[in-house]
Chain A
Amino acid sequence: MIPGKEIAGKDAGLGAGLTIDEIRNAIMEERTTATALATDFYDRIRKEDPEIGAFLTLCQERALAQAGLIDQMAAEGQPLPPLAGVPVAIKDVMVTSGVRTTAGSKILDNFIPPYDCTAVARLEAAGAVILGKLNCDEFAMGSSNENSAYHPVHNPRDKSRVPGGSSGGSAAAVAAEMAVATLGSDTGGSIRQPASFCGVVGLKPTYGRVSRYGLIAFASSLDHIGPFAKTVKEVAQVLRTIAGRDPMDSTSAEVPVPDYVAELEKPVKDSGKTIKIGVAKEYFGSGLDPEVRAAVEAAIQKLAELGCEVVPVSLPHTEYAVPTYYIVATAEASSNLARYDGVRYGFRAKADNLSQMYRETRDGGFGMEVKRRIMLGTYALSAGYYDAYYLKAQKVRTLLTRDFDDAFKKVDVIAAPTCPTPAFKLGEKVNDPLAMYLADIYTVTANLAGIPGISVPCGENHEKLPIGLQLFARHFDEATLLRVAHAYERSSLGENRA
């Protein structure tokens, strides 16, 4: 048995603070077992989570069965899969066979899916141990996790603050070391924004890079699955596992999956080609917190010192991204959420006739933000308004995507803040939906264009709240994105950790 790494000022349990590689090696060398690690993580969750609220459901039986398989392989001296014994957890918008999946909604309170999400199945096939399902905003609609129908999540770095959203539980679980890696979903920033708020790494891959099969749909043309972890390398390890064509999702692209981990080690500056980093003034305008600006500018300076060439670029339609996003996303949501009618699964209200049963089921099952978005989307698609709202937004989506096309003719990566501010207080924006939507101002563009984006910690403000550096790259160029993020992380943390 190995003791857990000491973490300054914290009573770290066995296993907490270990990386994916450290865990796999420790199991392979029989210094610990997957079962012991899983048990320790559950102890830690029982101790820490009552104050954080990251988990909605634990699946100990499934976890220990998987851990037992890994331990048996280790005992027999078989080669271990890449994520062997790694304790992970899944945002509760990805279905898990036999394990309750709620999407953070009361309408799915009792839903036990009969099949696994592809990304979840691939993690488990690679040896990961799934501890449980993570809290999130209802149907992934929110930027603070306060729209969960169950309970809010508290930011482990400051429990009076939100963890971000909608994948708040996924970010908080990694930050509080209740899981080594987690999966989240990102429709308008829901991986990158909570990663920034909680001080961890979060990646939204290219649209089509990771299968969406088994992801409960919010807005199908904008939804993405992606990983959270403490380090860029671990995010790359998870991406390598979940990426690639899946016949069950016809939008998953048939583009080869490179070895992202090997790509990480390539230098950002070599004799052949210098990586060019674009900086767009539109991401540094009014509304950007001065401390966030200073931290992100310092990070860009660091990239220049590492040998990248910093180039000004323009993304002139950026100010139109949030209104475009909230039309496209809500229109798609209003259609996707029509399936919750109380007939085949989930909550059903008692009523005398079918039409009344539909209405009362949806009235009682959905929370306020979900109803608001269904209403907005239905309005935008309704006769007489379709051209003015939905079609208009689709056209502006083209313009926003062209902005990136033009910029990526000049640069390889674009650097920006992930969010305009650090984590805000619980309750601060809950009564002002528009103010909440503006928390996504720097993240929604990547969903509309489908390009990959990552948030990497780049310092703290005077209250010790984490700040995130966001990097974008071309479609399917996660390799360059991760390489630059890894180089930055290594330079800012020192060689040991990253």
Chain B
Amino acid sequence: MKVAAQDVAYVADLANLELTEEERARMLRDLNSILEYVERLSELDTDKVAPMAQVSDRYGEDGSRQGSDRFAYASRDDVKEGLRKSLPHDVAVKNAPDTDGTFFEVPKVIER
């Protein structure tokens, strides 16, 4: 077993999940089964292989240029309004579960 019950608790904590006892038990079983399957990646020697984070790393415009220069088309002038106007305040908070109309309201953060 790669993952133990305490690992599930630790990872859930990192992910801001609580999980029920039943969910933790199931997670323990499923994560071990999936990670066992993933283990086959270690069969491959990748010491000299560069990692690939993005497809566009490989076909960015103008291959003769280096690094972010290849993606020069993606940059724009730094103008005041940006690409489009920001959402009006009332629209931006419209989906908020709790708002005073100016801010998003949340339960108390600091006890005093």
| Chain A residues engaging chain B, CB cutoff 8 angstroms | 110-112, 114-115, 207-208, 221, 245, 247-248, 250-251, 253-255, 317, 319-320, 322-324, 326-327, 334, 338, 341-348, 351-354, 356-360, 362-363, 366, 368, 371-372, 374-376, 378-379, 382, 388-389, 391-399, 401, 433-434, 437, 449-450, 475-476
Contact = CB atoms under 8 A, between A and B. Distances in A.
Interface string B67-87: 000010110100000011001
B52 A254 contact: no
Contacts of A378: 11, 14-15
Contacts of A388: 42
Contact of A326 (B11, B17, B19, B38): B38
5 contacts: A207-B56, A345-B97, A368-B23, A395-B46, A450-B56
B112 interface: no
Given A342-B97, A348-B97, A375 B51 contact: no
B74 to A, nearest CB: 4
A399 B11 contact: no
A368 B56 CA distance: 32
A254 B26 CA distance: 45
A379 B91 contact: no
A247 B53 CA distance: 21
Nearest to B16: A358
A342 to B, nearest CB: 6
B15 A375 contact: yes
Contacts of B6: none
Which of B11, B20, B42, B109 has the largest count of A CB atoms less than 10 A from its CB? B11
B106 A354 contact: yes
Contacts of A389: 38
Interface string B1-37: 0010001101110111111100100110011011101
Contacts of A221: 53-55
A-B complex: 7 closest residue pairs judged by Cβ atoms? A450-B55, A394-B51, A345-B95, A348-B97, A395-B46, A207-B55, A250-B74
Query: Which of A111, A359, A401 has the most CB atoms of chain B within a 10 A radius of its CB?
Result: A359
Contacts of B52: 394-395, 397-398, 401
Given A348-B98, A362-B16, A371-B23, A114 B92 contact: yes
Contact of A253 (B49, B56, B95): B56
B108 A354 contact: yes
Nearest to A447: B55
Nearest to A438: B37
B15 A401 contact: no
Contact of A449 (B39, B55, B76): B55
Contacts of A368: 23, 26
Contacts of B55: 207-208, 221, 401, 449-450, 475
